Amino acid sequence: MPIKNQHTGFNFRQYAYKQFKHNKPAYVSLYILVILAFVAICAPILANEKPLYIKYKGETFFPAFSFKNNYYLTDSNGDTTKIQLDITEWKQLQFEKVIWAPVPYTPGKSDRLNSDYKSPSGEQKFRDATGNIVPMPARFRHKLGTGSRGEDLLSGLIHGARISLTIGFISMTIATIIGLLLGALAGYFGDNKLTTSRGKFWTVIIGIIIGWFYAFQVRQFNLQDALKTSSSAIIIQLLLSIGILVGIIILFSLIGILVGKLPYLKKQVHIPVDAMVSRTVEIFHSMPTFILILTIAAIARPSLTNIMIIIGLTSWTGIARLTRAEFLRLRNLEYIQAARALGYSEYKIILKHALPNGVAPALVSIAFGIASAILIESSLSFLGIGVPADVVTWGSLVNDGREKYSAWWLVIFPGLAIFITVTVYNLIGEGLRDALDPKQKK
């Protein structure tokens, strides 16, 4: 049965969804991704040493959800007991009622009785409410084993999912914004559709050079110090540098309007947007990206925000190339020509008409990019670079397994989590590629 064309009501989005749904590996991977996202969002509820609900000495409260750190309980005799949430040994208290998290451990928290790498099936010990050391009850057992200091592996995997997915999404959001913007401008305008006066063109070029000098060269020590200080400091300094660059470019653009009125400089010239973006992409491709990320991460202060920014600023080229190729096709279609005929501005046509229809191929690159970002973060965590030492990630868990080769669970389970997550994103990317490929329509 032939597929309807646009004149008979063919809806490509519905067709693409059906094609994606028929791709069983990709469709199942989407459900697995939803489960991983649920685990990441609910990590503080799924793995927490603090009870979700307790009734103690007649008082009812919810330690896992509390923003307070201290509770004062007064009994019938007028005696007051202080409970400090961050240091209380919850498992040694005698509660009237209690509801524990599914995994009653916090990632990175030591369990001295089960230190020195306890295997999932090995002997584990527990100190009860009377202070006696007894065999570990099934409810509190470290189901996937422990690390050198008795850290629970399962709680680390649950909270590590939150770190990995957050880094993947945010870093690729940064890369997507840059890639879509530059790719759209390059594909839509090309090298000969954006014109300006010769005077304004060269004035803006000079403004870009001067702006870059004052925004980044003059302020390089401020940026370096911010990298070593905190995540908020580098964001503030980076935004300040970008503001200086944009402000100087705008100033020189206004000056260029006046310069462009001079007799020789008022001649119209083409701005080679496509060539400039393409050469920038080639420069980024010529760099060894992982080594660049490794170098910056080693210099910068350990911070998840720094890692996300670094990965995002070095991962946009694939999105830009796909967006550029799609816009080269879209700019000559009838509805774009009609929008021009109606007098819409070029930027309104790009944002409201071309971009919603040209973003589909970039989705494939975004899916693969998230998988790549998770791998990069895991590699940096494994090497102990870029991520704070107190943050538990899948890569840091694998790194802990290097200290004792017989602790196989510290390598197998985190490695399996990384493998499953990266495979899921790759399968979704392949499913999107097949569903959005017009050549697959039959």
Sequence letter at residue 279: R
What is the model's pLDDT at position 154? Answer: 92
Cβ-contact 232, 183 below 8 angstroms: no
Highest mean pLDDT: which range of 89-98, 130-139, 200-209:
200-209
Least confident piece of the model among 80-94, 134-148, 208-222, 402-416? 80-94
What is the model's pLDDT at position 26? Answer: 85
Cα separation of the two ends of the chain: 8
Kindly tell me if the per-residue pLDDT of 331 is higher than 90: no
Report, as an integer, the average pLDDT of 273-293. 84
Kindly tell me if the per-residue pLDDT of 76 is higher than 70: no
Cβ-contact 386, 298 below 8 angstroms: yes
How far is 106 from 46, CA to CA, in rounded Å?
Answer: 10
* pLDDT one-digit tens code per residue, 23-54: 888 889 989 999 999 999 999 899 998 888 88
Kindly tell me if the per-residue pLDDT of 299 is higher than 80: no
What is the model's pLDDT at position 416? Answer: 92
* pLDDT one-digit tens code per residue, 392-428: 888 888 888 887 888 899 999 999 999 999 999 888 8
Report, as an integer, the average pLDDT of 308-330. 88
**Strands, E, within 79-164: which ranges?**
80-84, 97-99, 125-127, 133-135
- Res. 109 pLDDT band, cuts 50 70 90: confident
- Res. 438 pLDDT band, cuts 50 70 90: low
Mention every residue, 6+ apart, whose C-beta is less than 8 A from residue 45: 52, 64, 101
- Res. 378 pLDDT band, cuts 50 70 90: confident
What is the model's pLDDT at position 338? Answer: 87
How far is 163 from 308, CA to CA, in rounded Å?
Answer: 11
pTM of the predicted structure, to 2 decimals: 0.80
* pLDDT one-digit tens code per residue, 345-372: 888 888 888 888 788 788 888 888 888 8
- State the chain's mean pLDDT as an integer: 83
DSSP classification of residue 7 = G
Higher confidence at residue 111 or residue 300? 111
Kindly tell me if the per-residue pLDDT of 218 is higher than 60: yes
What is the model's pLDDT at position 102? Answer: 92
Mention every residue, 6+ apart, whose C-beta is less than 8 A from residue 417: 157, 160, 161, 394
Q: How crowded is the C-beta side of 398, counted as CA atoms within 13 Å? A: 21
Cβ-contact 405, 320 below 8 angstroms: no
- Res. 3 pLDDT band, cuts 50 70 90: very low
Report, as an integer, the average pLDDT of 80-105. 83
Reading the block at residue 7, the tokens are 């004149």
* pLDDT one-digit tens code per residue, 128-169: 877 788 888 888 899 999 988 889 999 999 999 988 888 888
Q: How crowded is the C-beta side of 337, counted as CA atoms within 13 Å? A: 4
133 φ, ψ (degrees, to nearest 5): -90, 120
Report the SS3 class of residue 386: coil
What is the model's pLDDT at position 350? Answer: 85
